[in-house]
Structure 1
């Protein structure tokens, strides 16, 4: 079984401020919601903070979770309304078919691998001096680079993004921008640079450049697409990246 959860976060509570500031801390809180061997399953999560007063945490798990600790420490335990919604993912997976279209949302960590970074950090210089050189994973920092990273990989993820019908095109979707010739039904709705430490006693910070993509997709390969739904897209999955979520497109005739 697979479950998709949605948990309301109260940003004014002390524990919430810690979780919202550190993807490492949020990852730990998410893992505590899985009772049996959480490290043996792929857990995906994403924090949606479109409304800073009502952040929403989405989590995809292989087993049914318990979010009591998050509600007590970082939610509204005494307020009305659903504090955490947990839904079986099977009905959604049953709808996956070639030609089917959905609205989607994804927060990802667009990166490139290179052996010669333009502005290497001190750590990268140390690694470059090693006998066995390894490539470096560098985060894309501009909207054009991040959008090109996304659109150049959709085929291997089992879907395509249809041509855009918006007028004018959204940011980064102009023809010829970033190597693109046709505007597509996707836009970047949020971009962030996150820096945090894994340990409270110091250590080198982890730096992530993230982008949130929203738009419309069309499934081209059921097996590839299902695999990405369940296992995520791109790196930094432990830190809130990679969870692709879908929503129906009202009034759209689906191809079968």
Structure 2
């Protein structure tokens, strides 16, 4: 059995400020919610802090969690309403089928592998300076994508392997004069093919980046420093491979899963209200 939880966080409490400032600390408190070892659970979680006054924690666990400790220390234990909602994930998994569309949200750590960083850190420079033995190969470096364009490209270039695609935006063509006309090389002699696919931007997709952050914190008091960049994507997706998609829902997407990345959550698509003619 798998469970999805949503916990309300009170940002004014002292414990909350500690947890909101450090993904490492929040990971430990999420792990306290389940009785077994965290590595057996393959915990996934995400902190949604769009509204700084009402942040919410989402967590996916394989055993039923108890969030009493988090509500007591970082929530509103004496207030009305649902402090922590826990629901079985199975009904959602049963709805997954090729062709189904959902609204989605994902916080991920977009990275690339490079054999030689352009500006290596001292630790990376030391690794590069270490001589290799015969037949040895140096493992590549995991580097963060830091621009929104690179992060979005990272996401869109991998969705097929994750079992879904992001449909093109449902927008009308721009009015004449709002975008420059691009000449067709077939109509202009001796002009390079400026409409070649390699130079042509792809169609706009139903996805946007709603938050980008750089995280830096100590893994433990006095321990090594952890630094990574995250991007939160939301939009609309269409399932293309139900099996691969269920795997990503359960196992997460990308690195830094222990620090709040990788949890893909779904919601029903909002109905589209058709425009009607005004009646005077």
Unaligned runs of 5+ in 1: none
- Note closer, same or farther for the CA distance 1:118–1:225 as it changes in structure 2 (3 Å cut): same
Kindly indicate whether the alpha-carbon contact (under 8 Å) linking 1:145 and 1:178 is maintained by their aligned counterparts in 2. no
Residues 174-221 of structure 1 show CA distances to partners (whole Å, capped at 9, x for unaligned) of: 9x99974111000000000010111212x4321111000000000000
Match of 2:146 in 1: 141
Match of 1:217 in 2: 237
So what's the TM-score if we normalise by structure 1?
0.92
Residues 35-74 of structure 1 show CA distances to partners (whole Å, capped at 9, x for unaligned) of: 1233212100000001001100000000100000000110
C-alpha separation between the residues in 1 aligned to 2:27 and 2:123?
Answer: 25
Select between 159-168 and 27-36 the one with higher mean Cα deviation: 159-168
Q: CA RMSD in A?
A: 2.0
C-alpha separation between the residues in 2 aligned to 1:241 and 1:37?
Answer: 19
Match of 1:59 in 2: 59
Match of 2:100 in 1: 100
Match of 2:277 in 1: none
Select between 53-62 and 35-44 the one with higher mean Cα deviation: 35-44
Match of 2:270 in 1: 250
C-alpha separation between the residues in 2 aligned to 1:13 and 1:93?
Answer: 36
Match of 1:186 in 2: 207
Q: Note the C-alpha offset of 1:166.
A: 4.4
Match of 1:161 in 2: 166
Unaligned runs of 5+ in 2: 133-137, 180-196, 273-280
- Note closer, same or farther for the CA distance 1:179–1:11 as it changes in structure 2 (3 Å cut): farther
Q: Larger C-alpha radius of gyration, 1 or 2?
A: 2
Match of 1:232 in 2: 252
Tell me the number of residue pairs that the alignment of Structure 1 and Structure 2 aligns. 246
Q: Which consecutive segments of 4 or more residues in structure 1 shift more than 3 A?
A: 166-169, 176-180
So what's the TM-score if we normalise by structure 2?
0.84
C-alpha separation between the residues in 1 aligned to 2:28 and 2:262?
Answer: 17
2:65 paired with 1:49? no
- Note closer, same or farther for the CA distance 1:43–1:198 as it changes in structure 2 (3 Å cut): same
C-alpha separation between the residues in 1 aligned to 2:95 and 2:145?
Answer: 33
Residues 134-176 of structure 1 show CA distances to partners (whole Å, capped at 9, x for unaligned) of: 210000000000000000000000000000124799xxxx9x9
